[in-house]
Amino acid sequence: MKKDFKDFKRFIEGKKVGVVGIGVSNIPLINFLLDLGAAVTAFDMKSKEELGEVAINFNNRGVKLELGEGYLDHLEGFDVVFKTPSMRIDSESLVRVKNEGAYITSEMEEFVRYTKGKVYGVTGSDGKTTTTTIISKLLEEEGYKTWVGGNIGTPLFSQIENIKEDDRVVLELSSFQLMTMTEEIDVAICTNLAPNHLDMHKDMQEYIDAKKNIFLYQSLDGILILNRENEITYKFKEEAKGIVKEFSSKKEIVGGAYYKGGALYLDGKEVCKKDNIIIKGMHNVENFLAAFIATKDDVSLETMKKVAETFAGVEHRCELVREIDGVKYYNDSIASSPTRTLAGLKAFNEKVILIAGGYDKHIPFEPLAYEGYPYIKELILLGATKDKIKDVFDKLEDEKGIAVKMQIAKSLEEAVKIAKYMAKPGDIITLSPACASFDMYPNFMIRGNEFKDIVNGL
């Protein structure tokens, strides 16, 4: 039973509230808390100048700002603290204020606690955004008022009073958002799990444990959707409290969703042909299967077929930018892990010229080399991980005698120029970095947009 939002309004009024991070989701959150009568202090490592108009607006509304180096030094004396998702709950400043008696929470936790709509939560290492988007398209096509949030879409907490009981809410949830989640999610979907974000998590087990929170607090009638072909996620069924439903790209699943003989099936009934799905690759077959089984109580087979055959994909995910002189350029900037890059490579029917490298999340690159080499014609490396990736491909050559041609680029622009020079008509060039963007860009979208700008300027 969802809690009544009136309880939160009564609770927050007059409280001294700290909000850590003045980013995309926390700006509307801060304004909302002010509207509810809270006294807000906002914390951010950016300076007043960097925040610009945002800082001026908050000053005008009476928000106290703690900015710049040492911005968390005064995180004390608060009744409530909303943390930014990437802030560890065991960070020194949060532990200090919690020991003083503060209630520590986040925008997403409070949203899930109080929203009236039926919540679909999607997590995993790869495929989260595409699966979240497919589910939202299915529900919208079926006629539901659908809200999309979490890692994508819009910040939803400030709109919570507009969301009705008959509405549907689809959330993409990262391990950081789930680390402190103790609220019930109606339909939990875990696409897969592989090493990721090990720069932020203590180890792989902590990463897995964070993901489990998407289903650990479900009721007996909660639904958990699991990938039968992922060893880690499949074991989650042992801890599930609710109903477990499975999808598989390799075997027939009674009462589940599966791929067989060129078609996608749900509960033994064919939904659509694989060749009629616009977005290619077996990873996208799995994304559709997950979405089908997750929405089977709300969406018809006809709607599923229609969406599968018309959905053209999400920006920055194997996105065709343009064709020049018979060479196709693809933007797969979302691929911030080796497994995600592998999935993208396998979606093409030929070897590609791959541009890879970026911020180091401390995850192994062996899968990219040892599983990826059959799909790579040439490899162009850049960013903080260029030498680390090169070492793994050198190791592949030393151990197995398999050599992949490699070049190093100093910038994305140089990488594109190298790729253009070596490409022949019929070739495919893809930016699929296997790494996050933070060494060179604030996020994967800005990286992807720069790639598109470079390609469109050729």
User: Who wins on pLDDT, 185 or 84?
Assistant: 185
- pLDDT reading at 23 higher than 90: no
How many Å apart are CA 303 and CA 286, to the nearest integer?
18
Q: What contacts 26, CB < 8 A, 6 or more positions away?
A: 19, 20, 42, 82, 84, 107, 155
User: What radius of gyration, in Å, describes the C-alpha atoms of the chain?
Assistant: 23
> Stretch 59-74: mean pLDDT, rounded?
93
131: nearest Cα among 195, 226, 212: 226
- pLDDT reading at 196 higher than 70: no
Return the pLDDT at 287: 95
pTM for this structure? 0.78
H helical segments located in 385-443:
386-400, 412-422
- pLDDT reading at 394 higher than 60: yes
> Stretch 8-23: mean pLDDT, rounded?
95
- pLDDT reading at 202 higher than 80: no
199: nearest Cα among 88, 72, 317: 88
Neighbours of 417 (CB within 10 A): 15
Return the pLDDT at 283: 87
- pLDDT reading at 426 higher than 70: yes
Encode pLDDT of 249-260 as tens digits: 999 999 999 999
Beta strands in 34-164 (DSSP E): 39-44, 64-67, 80-82, 103-105, 118-123, 146-150
Domains of the chain: 14-105 (3.40.50.720), 109-308 (3.40.1190.10), 319-456 (3.90.190.20)
- pLDDT reading at 153 higher than 90: no
